[in-house]
């Protein structure tokens, strides 16, 4: 589905080259799968279309899980505070992490570790002005940042 395209865009955004036919697509593929799962699968109750892209929902989820300082640092213009795989695994719904791991062909812990490594940089690049972009699809927001 759109997860593949989203993963490719995220991979390009993160500097992952862009030819990767190799299956998972690395960090971009895992983040694309995560955001796709949150956008499409969720009973997370969020919006079905208009206002909030899955990135905003993910950051809300992290904030509610005690990672507000870290998430804010990624959006802001200062240094990005790190998170580890255990924090990510605790913040995400278990079913979501299981799905992302299956999609990537890795264990849930490996998926959480990869998300912890790449998510701060991805959010930082998607919020260059220090605010979360509003409106449009996540794909449109990523394309706009790649100028």
Residue 126 · residue 134 · CB < 8 Å: no
- Mean pLDDT of all residues in 116-137: 85
Distance (Å) of CA 124 to CA 9, 19, 110, 137: 15, 23, 22, 18
pLDDT in tens, 87-113: 999 999 999 999 999 999 999 999 999
pLDDT in tens, 127-137: 888 888 777 67
84: tokens are 């580890």
> Rounded distance, CA 62 to CA 66, Å?
7
- Which pTM was predicted? 0.77
**At 56, is the pLDDT very low, low, confident or very high (cuts 50, 70, 90)?**
confident
Q: How would you label 36-46 residue by residue, b for 16+ Cβ within 10 Å and e otherwise? A: bbbbeeeebeb
Which pLDDT score is estimated for 21?
34
Distance (Å) of CA 87 to CA 4, 93, 115, 126, 139: 26, 12, 10, 22, 26
- Mean pLDDT of all residues in 47-51: 39
**At 42, is the pLDDT very low, low, confident or very high (cuts 50, 70, 90)?**
very low
Residue 61 · residue 119 · CB < 8 Å: no
Lowest mean pLDDT among 28-32, 48-52, 63-67, 140-144: 48-52
> Rounded distance, CA 95 to CA 100, Å?
9
Q: CA quadruple 107, 108, 109, 114: dihedral positive or negative?
A: positive
Which pLDDT score is estimated for 37?
85
Residue 124 · residue 80 · CB < 8 Å: yes
């Amino acid at each position: 589905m759109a997860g593949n395209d989203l993963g490719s865009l995220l991979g390009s955004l993160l500097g992952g080259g862009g030819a990767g036919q190799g299956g998972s697509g690395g960090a971009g593929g895992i983040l694309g799968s995560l955001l796709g799962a949150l956008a499409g699968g969720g009973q997370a109750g969020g919006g079905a279309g208009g206002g909030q892209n899955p990135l905003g929902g993910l950051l809300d989820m992290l904030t509610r899980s005690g990672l507000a300082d870290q998430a804010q640092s990624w959006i802001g213009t200062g240094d990005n505070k790190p998170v580890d795989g255990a924090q990510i695994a605790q913040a995400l719904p278990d079913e979501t992490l299981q799905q992302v791991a299956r999609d990537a062909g890795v264990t849930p812990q490996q998926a959480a570790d990869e998300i912890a490594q790449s998510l701060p940089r991805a959010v930082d690049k998607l919020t260059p002005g220090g605010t979360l972009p509003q409106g449009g699809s996540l794909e449109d927001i990523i394309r706009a940042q790649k100028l």
